[in-house]
Amino acid sequence: MRLLVISDIHSNLEALQACLDAAPKYDRVANLGDIVGYGASPNEVVGIARNLGGVVVRGNHDRACAGVGDLNNFNRIAGFAVMWTRLALTSDNLEWVKALPQGPIPDPDLGNIEWVHGSPTDEDEYLLSENDARHALEAMDRPVTFFGHTHIQCVIGLHDGRARQFPVHYKHQDKLEYIQVRLQIGARYLINPGSVGQPRDGDWRAAFAMFDAETKTVTFYRVPYPVDMAQQRIVSADLPVRLAARLKEGR
């Protein structure tokens, strides 16, 4: 079984479309949340996410945009985008976002995998280092968890009691690239496919991953997309211009 793993689309239609165009054949989708918030195409992106189906977990921006919980942890710009998105979503799409389940969610077919937005022990936690990840790796119900939230592609493994982060490094910044990582039997892993719609590792290209359950291989992708179109939409929608600028900076 081959899974397309996407996360943190953040209403970026152009980035999502580029990822779907670049993805090789897959059997199912896993979507790790933050489908909306920041970008200017919430209804288009929710429409595609609903069509793609598969496993979908909620992110903190999905929750906030749907009016579940408060805006305490959002800065002024993110909070503005939340309110803008809440008004922009059709009532049908708003209900769909509101009903998204909290992770971690066990995969319905693969017994050793679960899906979450932040961390297996807290859907809002940022896992950015081995130290952040150690307790989660030890507490996970299943050996492999895919997570999002940080907007940074990575693999953090626990092997023989040691947690180690394997950053995903590319050679270029202007064309489609991919990197393959084969998982080892007996180790535990936290894997982040990166952010489709707002990468934060200094690389503007859209990010996603494929997981091949038979070969236990994760393939990380970076895909150029028409970022100027996504930026133009943000400006035209009267969203904060910073949200447009950061897309090209990859942060």
Binding site for Zn ion (CB under 5 A): 8, 34
Tokens standing for residue 120:
């297996």
SS3 for 120-180 is: CCECCCCCCCHHHHHHHHHHCCCCEEECCCCCCCEEEEEECCEEEEEECCCCCCCCCEEEE
In the bound complex, what is the minimum distance in angstroms from residue 187's beta carbon to Zn ion? 27
In the bound complex, what is the minimum distance in angstroms from residue 136's beta carbon to Zn ion? 18
In the bound complex, what is the minimum distance in angstroms from residue 215's beta carbon to Zn ion? 29
Nearer to Zn ion among residue 157 and residue 221 (C-beta): 221
Q: Look at residues 108, 126, 251 and name the one whose alpha carbon lies nearest to residue 190.
A: 126
In the bound complex, what is the minimum distance in angstroms from residue 149's beta carbon to Zn ion? 6
For the beta carbon of residue 47, count every other beta carbon within 10 angstroms.
16
In the bound complex, what is the minimum distance in angstroms from residue 38's beta carbon to Zn ion? 8
Nearer to Zn ion among residue 34 and residue 203 (C-beta): 34
In the bound complex, what is the minimum distance in angstroms from residue 32's beta carbon to Zn ion? 9
Nearer to Zn ion among residue 152 and residue 158 (C-beta): 152
CA distance 60 to 115: 15
Nearer to Zn ion among residue 149 and residue 233 (C-beta): 149
* C-beta nearest to Zn ion: residue: 34
For the beta carbon of residue 51, count every other beta carbon within 10 angstroms.
8
Nearer to Zn ion among residue 120 and residue 197 (C-beta): 197
Classify residue 172 by burial, with Cβ atoms within 10 Å: 0-12, 13-18, 19+. exposed
Strand 154-159: give its sheet, edge to edge.
105-106, 113-115, 144-146, 188-192, 154-159, 162-167
Nearer to Zn ion among residue 93 and residue 198 (C-beta): 198
